[in-house]
Amino acid sequence: MKTRFLFMMILSFLSMTSTAQQALWGAPNLVSPEIHDNNTVTFRLLAPQANEVKLSGDWMPSEGWVPGSVAMEKAGDDAWTYTTEVLPSELYSYFFLVDGLRVPDPNNVHRIRDVATVSDVFLIGGGKAELYRVNDVPHGTVARRWYDSPGNEMTRRMTIYTPPGYENSNENYPVLYLLHGMGGDEEAWIALGRSAQILDNLIAQGKAKPMIVIMTNGNVFQQAAPGDSPKGFYKPTMQLPNTMDGKMEATFRDVIEFVENNYRVKAEKENRAIAGLSMGGFHSLHISRYYPNTFAYVGLFSPAILPDEKVKSEVYENFDETLKTQMDNGLNLYWIGIGKTDFLYNFVEDYRKKLDEMEFQYEYHETEGGHTWANWRDYLTEFVPRLF
Alpha carbon distance 91, 104 (integer Å): 17
The pLDDT of residue 21 is: 37
Cα separation, 350 vs 344, whole angstroms: 10
What is the per-residue pLDDT across 61-71, written as a single tens digit (0 to 9) for each?
887 777 899 99
Q: Is 26-126's fold the same as 132-386's?
A: no
Specify the pLDDT at position 92: 97
Percent of the chain surpassing pLDDT 70? 93
Residue 283: predicted pLDDT:
98
> Using an 8 Å Cβ cutoff, are 212 and 117 in contact?
no
Residues 3-36: pLDDT tens digits?
Answer: 444 444 444 444 443 333 344 455 568 999 999 9
Residue-wise over 344-381: b if at least 16 C-beta within 10 A, else e?
bbebbeebbeebeeeebebeeeebeebbbbbbbbbbbb
Domain 26-126 part of CATH 3.40.50.11540 = no
339: nearest Cα among 273, 297, 274, 277: 277
210 has pLDDT over 70: yes
Q: What is the mean pLDDT of residues 169-192?
A: 97
Q: Residue ranges per domain, the chain?
A: 26-126, 132-386
**pTM across the whole model:** 0.91
Q: What percent of the chain has pLDDT over 90?
A: 85
pLDDT at 5: 44
Fold of 132-386: Rossmann fold (3.40.50)
pLDDT band at 309 (very low <50, low <70, confident <90, very high): confident
pLDDT value at position 371? 95
Q: How confident is the model at residue 308 (pLDDT cuts 50, 70, 90)?
A: confident
